[in-house]
Amino acid sequence: MRQLIQPEEDSARRVGKQQGMEHIDAYWRAANYLSVGQIYLLDNPLLTEPLRPEHIKPRLLGHWGTTPGLNFCFAHLNRVIRERDQDMIYICGPGHGGPGAVAHAWLEGSYSERYPDVSQDAEGMRRLFRQFSFPGGIPSHAAPETPGSIHEGGELGYALAHAYGAAFDNPELVVACIVGDGEAETGPLAASWHSNKFLDRRRDGVVLPILHLNGYKIANPTVLARIPTDELIKLVEGYGYRPHLVGPDHAEMAGTLDAAFEQIAAYKAGDADRLPMIILRTPKGWTGPREVDGKPVEGTWRSHQVPLAKVRENPTHLGMLEEWMRSYRPEELFGSEGRPVREIRETVPRGTRRMSANPHANGGELLEPLRLPDFRRTAVEVKSPASQSSEPTRVLGGWLRDVIAANPATFRLLGPDETASNRLSDVFEVTDRAWNAELLPTDENLGAGGRVMEVLSEHLCQGWLEGYLLTGRHGLFNCYEAFIHIIDAMFNQHAKWLESSQKIPWRRPVASLTYLLSSHVWRQDHNGFSHQDPGFLDVVINKKASVVRVYLPPDANTLLSVADHCLRSRDYVNVIVAGKQPVLDLFTMEEAIAHNTRGLGILPWASTDDGTEPDVVLACAGDVPTLETLAAAALLREHLPELKVRVINVVDLMRLQPATEHPHGMSDAEFDTLFTVDKPVIFDFHGYPSLIHQLTYRRHGHGNIHVRGYKEEGTTTTPFDMAMLNDIDRYHLVMDVIDRVPGLGSRQAHLRQRMSDERLRARQYTRDHGEDPAEIRTWTWQAAFSS
Amino acid sequence: MRQLIQPEEDSARRVGKQQGMEHIDAYWRAANYLSVGQIYLLDNPLLTEPLRPEHIKPRLLGHWGTTPGLNFCFAHLNRVIRERDQDMIYICGPGHGGPGAVAHAWLEGSYSERYPDVSQDAEGMRRLFRQFSFPGGIPSHAAPETPGSIHEGGELGYALAHAYGAAFDNPELVVACIVGDGEAETGPLAASWHSNKFLDRRRDGVVLPILHLNGYKIANPTVLARIPTDELIKLVEGYGYRPHLVGPDHAEMAGTLDAAFEQIAAYKAGDADRLPMIILRTPKGWTGPREVDGKPVEGTWRSHQVPLAKVRENPTHLGMLEEWMRSYRPEELFGSEGRPVREIRETVPRGTRRMSANPHANGGELLEPLRLPDFRRTAVEVKSPASQSSEPTRVLGGWLRDVIAANPATFRLLGPDETASNRLSDVFEVTDRAWNAELLPTDENLGAGGRVMEVLSEHLCQGWLEGYLLTGRHGLFNCYEAFIHIIDAMFNQHAKWLESSQKIPWRRPVASLTYLLSSHVWRQDHNGFSHQDPGFLDVVINKKASVVRVYLPPDANTLLSVADHCLRSRDYVNVIVAGKQPVLDLFTMEEAIAHNTRGLGILPWASTDDGTEPDVVLACAGDVPTLETLAAAALLREHLPELKVRVINVVDLMRLQPATEHPHGMSDAEFDTLFTVDKPVIFDFHGYPSLIHQLTYRRHGHGNIHVRGYKEEGTTTTPFDMAMLNDIDRYHLVMDVIDRVPGLGSRQAHLRQRMSDERLRARQYTRDHGEDPAEIRTWTWQAAFSS
């Protein structure tokens, strides 16, 4: 390993001298030229005339600083691809390098294939420049619009997790992953280095991390650029990699990459235990203006965005820009018609070996549907509704076991160490947890190649799964409901990626990202307040209707059917909330399929309206609210037998929205028929009540919808006490009915008082005995009428 | 450094043999005994009679696995405190160790001081056991209820960041921080190790991380327990620490702690550069049952929660529990009256040196109000409303500079490398960015002791600030609006901490956590879709009204006044959304104060209702919506001069809620007076429209409120195009008025068409020129009427 060249000593000026590197250098200069052009130019792309202010964009929006280093990596990786016929994709953590990513796709020809208007000639180059970060054009970061990218460069931190996700089950693939030294400070990235403990030498591909130390973030030095080199080396050795330090020099980079790929080959052959990674130190804004207005720019944070900020107004800046662009000698790089010269074209791999055209980076091209076993075979037998209980996720686990068995290389189940806790353990009958670190004799269900991925990092689970899905595979993320908020921001970014991708014809649909949220708010009574939060649904529903789906199956059979539906879907984010604790079985499998197909429906056996207009509607969504609603319906049947009660269960939350707002939305006519326009609706909901109001506020009967849900009351207590703390319990629902149905309040004050007393009695029992009263614990619909 | 003892070789049986360690061992046994008792027992706390099923809790809820190791650390740290009279607090990452944390407080006497009912005797011990994880009792994790804790043990990952936050500006303090090896896999924790690059030797205290490798998470081994020891050592050396490996042995632990504190002293004296950390390897469930039902438990994941699960039902388990508890020899530990024996009491530090009673862990006890400079002195002079512009955050920066200068040791400004980008750079006139790594000559505003903390990790910013606030200091977190979602989950946990703390009399109020969200959704036109998300407000508003406050100051002076208010507040989470781009100055400073005090108000100069009932209300919240609303009001004044328009600006979003829902909420009478009960209200909102509906759905006029806001439309474009993409622009507002005011639709079809044409024209101009039309860019209220 060699010492780094200090940034002061190196420069573009040393570049290109090395024997055999001229063509790579030409490619690199071309990519740099195209990057600068995108940031600055409206016109005169080939500098066929002196630059004038009107050639310059009025708003200069883009990021130069990271780009030349990224271009340098790309140029050199291309040589490796050609020489080794290597299947490789490129994940660029510093998404600010958008102009570079676009430049490569254009140089490789794939940009013009995807966007024929942006042809590989002078007019195409003009359009390429103009569209960048321009209204009606393309984003300034790597984005779905960028050929060859599966990684949005907006929010930072997820590059390495995406890279590993792409490498899993792609044994021939190398994923080159540039980690910016800014991004390296984020939590998700810091955790991602350990992904190598989950990589299987035989079944998975390889990630080659390239830590790009250009030294600065927006306005600050980076931590990793300013710790002693020996500490940095120890750090990455501690992460389990063999580091290679390389400075800004073509020959060095080429030699280092050759060594790294030899090590990768040795690893794949079983001759080495540790994979390489590269630490590339370059100046930030390398080859850009050294100094502007008397201040150093190249090699400092000042080159982060636009090194010359006043080009239109300031003739000196304009002159410097022209000098800068001409320093790449465009006349050597592009023919008079603007096409890259042959020497450059020849550095580029062919066809799908081009990283900008590799199908792994447009995973829908490779996607094959899962072989899904018939979930009906896993169904729970239900003889009469709500008379027996099952653990829904445990039942689901049986089906997921069969999914895994039938799809041994294209499906993974992810979770932060909660697969067993969420009662999906049946999957371990056919697979292990992926594990590539030390094994002990006492270990169970642990081994290389396991389909279950457990790491105590929701970020890693999410990032791995995103990478896995975007490269054309399938998966499911199971998580405690409260802690899924940890990846709110990652969900946002992925949903935005999907929203954008849906509008890009060449982006083929990928498998949906499906969450199974279990150990949910109502059954975290034992873990307490910190584990109680159903608010992820609120985050999800803010995203576009074209992308998000939310399901709250109330029992095991509906869960099975929903899960099957979700794993067949494309380009969505599906959220399934389902408990792991026993809940009443409500539906036979055929009924469950019919109920899910409608997305919601009346439970006729629990209703007393006999198909006529009811006096009150009891609606519910979520397993615990459904149980409480049924118990309330039973109480009403017992105490107010003349009251016409309609019980509605909602599985598909999006059905509540107007059809104009969501593709699953009901027409007003349907909604009115079900919920009435003027009768009180007591809606017992799994999450925060405001969400139901949000979904229904345009409905005619909205003023009559009274929602119970989680109102941020919780502690370590019993399940029924949790329900009571938040007023979603059966007794309170009956009280709500009495309060809301005209006339009942005065006539049924006695019943209301009795319900209130029942609550106090239940609470006192709980305080005295540490568990819920037996009649609550063992309540079933049948029991309600057999006592 | 010595090799680890393998878990197989060690055990509790070796313990206590070392000379001089007997009392520490006794303390440890007592803490373990009390921990087991809390998990299992309802009664018979001192085992004065044989255990019977009725002594056992019906639901066994707690976590044993991590607890004995944590107790071991606490016992040994106490010796150091006594011998060195060390000011120390204890942050316990494995929050599952709740029973241990409670046990220490009881043994130290502080528990009974805080909760006199739980006295330090047999009856107190019975109550201590019973209340744990029991309805009406205390949580199973370390929580606000736990004396000596500033760290909720629910969601994992934040221990080390909290510890550093506590250490900043506490030069005499050592923060012992146990990092669980499960937690160590999380992103936030992985990033936190580098916090040492931000620690000032002179002005800050020291964090002593103790990485507790007990080998397992819930059901899996941990990564750090299964990598080669040499890699683990390199890893922590790479993080910049001097690691000490220690096994489960009293003498070793004592010797290691002595060495570590010598190194800490050397560091403080300037004689050492690197601080120590400890890697403690113990069996999980150490000293618990070795084997249960034929399966190994001690030293495996099976000891994570309750090693003996069927104690009530299974006499063998009951017998094993009694044997286990008696193995600690309680008769040696507690007198017949249940009080800890003298030997144990003497191992405990005195008074506020007890970690369970250290005031740093109840920061409100140490809190002193900030010395806040008069923000009126920083005010922008406003001669007439909306005729000039300021950059609100830049103006705020001037005041924050003065805040920092006046409070050099109790206020910090945090942000992920965005302080300059958010235009708060004036602060650098009086301080630096904290930096303890290499410095280069080109660096600016960087140095030890800086009050500004910038790291590219929202998690670290949030975690540091939480630790800093909870130990009695003040701060402000500035962040890009979209990326604050990264800490949604941390916000949730902190809000829950505050919600719980408010109910605990001895928890003194701490300074509020205040967010300044800038570079917001409407001015991320240049960064594109990935940077556009105003949904943090939705996450915030789900938390309890007693804790959350949201402010959207529309100009510089209102921002100043809001910021002053927030920095004076206690026990809240304040969210301020304010732009960095120039916005119109609307209020003189006195007007701004009055407007903020009301929280919302009519802008009389923009209204044409002359105090009478208006035909339409234009409401707005947020700087860009306010600008568009004013422009719409000007258009209406020009084109429909007879229309009575009332313009209302909302600063304090919580004012919209009913008074019954939030302490800031308006009465219905006030609301009706302002917004009318029957006139159309066109509400232009900064965030997702549903939030306004959520806040106002109980208002009489709710059916007439029509909200415009962000509807997930965005890309890289111009600011006005962003507004148009989401229909919050002036032209669309006028169209909305025409559509909503009865009768206007038919009469003003021409004006509506003209507005629609203006939109098309503006969009086309943007596409052609790459910037907004000049009349949009330079629009002011004055200009609207001077042309």
Q: How many helices (H) and strands (E) does chain B have?
A: 27, 22
| Tokens coding B98 | 């709740």
Domain A389-583 classified CATH 3.20.20.100?
no
Stretch(es) of chain A classified as CATH 3.40.50.970: 12-361, 389-583
The pLDDT assigned to B4 comes to 34
The distance in angstroms from the start CA to the end CA of chain A is: 81
Mean pLDDT, residues B125-140? 95
Mean pLDDT, residues B311-324? 97
Q: For A692-716, how does the pLDDT look when each residue is reduced to its tens digit (9 = 90+)?
A: 999 998 899 889 999 999 999 998 8
Asked if A219's CB is within 8 angstroms of B420's CB, the reply is: yes
Mean pLDDT, residues B106-134? 97
Mean pLDDT, residues A501-516? 97
3-state secondary structure of A179: strand
Alpha-carbon distance of B618 to B640, in angstroms, equals 14
CB distance B571 to B510 below 8 Å = yes
**In chain B, which residues have their Cβ closer than 8 Å to the Cβ of A437?**
221, 223, 226-227
Q: For B466-478, how does the pLDDT look when each residue is reduced to its tens digit (9 = 90+)?
A: 999 999 999 999 9
In the CATH scheme, what architecture does the domain A600-786 have?
3-Layer(aba) Sandwich (3.40)
pLDDT at A8 over 50: no
The pLDDT assigned to A154 comes to 85
- Percent of chain B at pLDDT exceeding 70: 97
Alpha-carbon distance of A358 to A341, in angstroms, equals 23
The pLDDT assigned to A526 comes to 84
Interface probe, candidates A59, A306, A457, chain B, greatest B C-beta count within 10 A: A457
Asked if A187's CB is within 8 angstroms of B457's CB, the reply is: yes
pLDDT at B503 over 80: yes
The pLDDT assigned to A787 comes to 61
Q: Which residues of B408-444 are buried (b: 16+ CB within 10 A; e: fewer)?
A: eebbbbbbbbbbbbbbbbbbbeebbbbbbbeeeeebe
Question: How do B705-708 and B681-685 pair as beta strands?
Answer: parallel
Q: Note the maximum CA span of chain A.
A: 98
Alpha-carbon distance of A213 to A244, in angstroms, equals 13
CB distance B695 to A690 below 8 Å = no
CATH code of the region B388-583:
3.40.50.970
CB distance A454 to A432 below 8 Å = no
pLDDT at A9 over 80: no
The pLDDT assigned to B96 comes to 84
Mean pLDDT, residues B11-33? 73
CB distance A492 to B485 below 8 Å = yes
B313 at the A interface (CB within 8 A)?
no
Q: For A353-397, how does the pLDDT look when each residue is reduced to its tens digit (9 = 90+)?
A: 999 999 999 999 999 999 999 999 999 999 999 999 999 999 999
Domain covering B27-360, topology: Rossmann fold (3.40.50)
Residue B336's CB is within 10 A of a number of other CB atoms, namely 9
Alpha-carbon distance of A652 to A409, in angstroms, equals 30
B51 band by pLDDT with thresholds 50, 70 and 90: very high
The pLDDT assigned to B418 comes to 85
**In chain A, which residues have their Cβ closer than 8 Å to the Cβ of B240?**
227, 231
List Cα–Cα distances, A330 to A63, A287, A341, A708, in angstroms: 21, 14, 10, 67
Instruction: Pick the residue from chain B with its C-alpha nearest to A721.
Output: B135
The pLDDT assigned to B437 comes to 93
**In chain B, which residues have their Cβ closer than 8 Å to the Cβ of A220?**
417, 433, 446, 454
B95 band by pLDDT with thresholds 50, 70 and 90: confident
B20 band by pLDDT with thresholds 50, 70 and 90: low
Asked if B420's CB is within 8 angstroms of A185's CB, the reply is: no
Q: For A74-95, how does the pLDDT look when each residue is reduced to its tens digit (9 = 90+)?
A: 999 999 999 999 999 999 999 7
Give the contacts of B21 (CB within 8 A, at least 6 positions apart).
B250, B251, B254
Asked if A227's CB is within 8 angstroms of B240's CB, the reply is: yes
Residue B768 corresponds to which amino acid?
D
**In chain A, which residues have their Cβ closer than 8 Å to the Cβ of B526?**
59, 61, 133, 140
The pLDDT assigned to A20 comes to 63
**How far B164 CA lies from chain A's nearest CA (Å)?**
16
- The alpha-helical segments, DSSP class H, found in A614-748 are 623-639, 668-675, 690-696, 719-725, 730-740, 744-747
For residue B130, with 0-12 CB atoms within 10 Å meaning exposed, 13-18 middle and 19 or more buried, which class applies?
A: buried
Report the candidate in A689, A647, A678 with the shortest Cα–Cα distance to residue A740.
A678
B234 → closest Cβ in A238, A438, A455: A238
Mean pLDDT, residues B546-572? 98
A11 band by pLDDT with thresholds 50, 70 and 90: very low
pLDDT at B8 over 80: no
Alpha-carbon distance of A777 to B646, in angstroms, equals 57
Q: For B521-537, how does the pLDDT look when each residue is reduced to its tens digit (9 = 90+)?
A: 999 888 889 999 999 99
Mean pLDDT, residues A638-651? 97
Write the DSSP string, A329-341: -HHHHB-TTSPBP
B108 at the A interface (CB within 8 A)?
no
In the CATH scheme, what architecture does the domain A12-361 have?
3-Layer(aba) Sandwich (3.40)
| Tokens coding A499 | 């929203």
Asked if B58's CB is within 8 angstroms of A482's CB, the reply is: no
pLDDT at B271 over 60: yes
Q: For B276-297, how does the pLDDT look when each residue is reduced to its tens digit (9 = 90+)?
A: 999 999 999 999 999 999 999 9
**How far B634 CA lies from chain A's nearest CA (Å)?**
27
Instruction: Pick the residue from chain A with its C-alpha nearest to B445.
Output: A220
Mean pLDDT, residues A463-480? 98
3-state helix, strand, coil in chain A (%, to 5): 45, 15, 40
Asked if B296's CB is within 8 angstroms of A442's CB, the reply is: yes
Mean pLDDT, residues A586-615? 96
B235 → closest Cβ in A183, A218, A235: A235
pLDDT at B449 over 80: yes
**How far B186 CA lies from chain A's nearest CA (Å)?**
5
Q: Which residues of A242-262 are buried (b: 16+ CB within 10 A; e: fewer)?
A: bbbbbbbbbbbbbebbeebbe
A417 at the B interface (CB within 8 A)?
yes
CB distance A682 to A740 below 8 Å = yes
Mean residue pLDDT across chain B: 95
pLDDT at B15 over 70: no
The pLDDT assigned to A525 comes to 86
The pLDDT assigned to B787 comes to 60
Stretch(es) of chain B classified as CATH 3.40.50.920: 600-786
Instruction: Pick the residue from chain B with its C-alpha nearest to A299.
Output: B442
Q: For B577-589, how does the pLDDT look when each residue is reduced to its tens digit (9 = 90+)?
A: 999 999 999 999 9
Mean pLDDT, residues B210-234? 96
The pLDDT assigned to B525 comes to 87
Alpha-carbon distance of B177 to B165, in angstroms, equals 12
B485 → closest Cβ in A418, A421, A488: A488
Q: For A674-683, how does the pLDDT look when each residue is reduced to its tens digit (9 = 90+)?
A: 999 999 999 9
Q: For A529-586, how does the pLDDT look when each residue is reduced to its tens digit (9 = 90+)?
A: 999 999 999 999 999 999 999 999 999 999 999 999 999 999 999 999 999 999 999 9
Size of interface A-B (CB pairs under 8 A): 351
B11 band by pLDDT with thresholds 50, 70 and 90: very low
Instruction: Pick the residue from chain B with its C-alpha nearest to A698.
Output: B703
Secondary structure element (H or E) that encloses residue A714, with its range: none
Asked if B240's CB is within 8 angstroms of A231's CB, the reply is: yes
Alpha-carbon distance of B31 to B48, in angstroms, equals 18
The pLDDT assigned to A95 comes to 79
**pTM of the entire predicted model:** 0.96
Full 3-state SS string of B695-716: HHCCCHHHHHEEEECCCCCCCC
Asked if A234's CB is within 8 angstroms of B767's CB, the reply is: no
Between A14-28, B196-210, B343-357, the lowest mean confidence (pLDDT) is in A14-28
B500 → closest Cβ in A58, A140, A529: A529
- Percent of chain B at pLDDT exceeding 90: 93
φ/ψ of residue B492, rounded to 5: -55, -50
List Cα–Cα distances, A618 to A286, A596, A598, A602, A685, in angstroms: 66, 19, 18, 10, 11
For residue A562, with 0-12 CB atoms within 10 Å meaning exposed, 13-18 middle and 19 or more buried, which class applies?
A: buried
**How far A732 CA lies from chain B's nearest CA (Å)?**
19
CB distance B187 to B216 below 8 Å = no
The pLDDT assigned to B7 comes to 38
Q: What is the ipTM of this complex?
A: 0.96
Stretch(es) of chain B classified as CATH 3.40.50.970: 27-360, 388-583
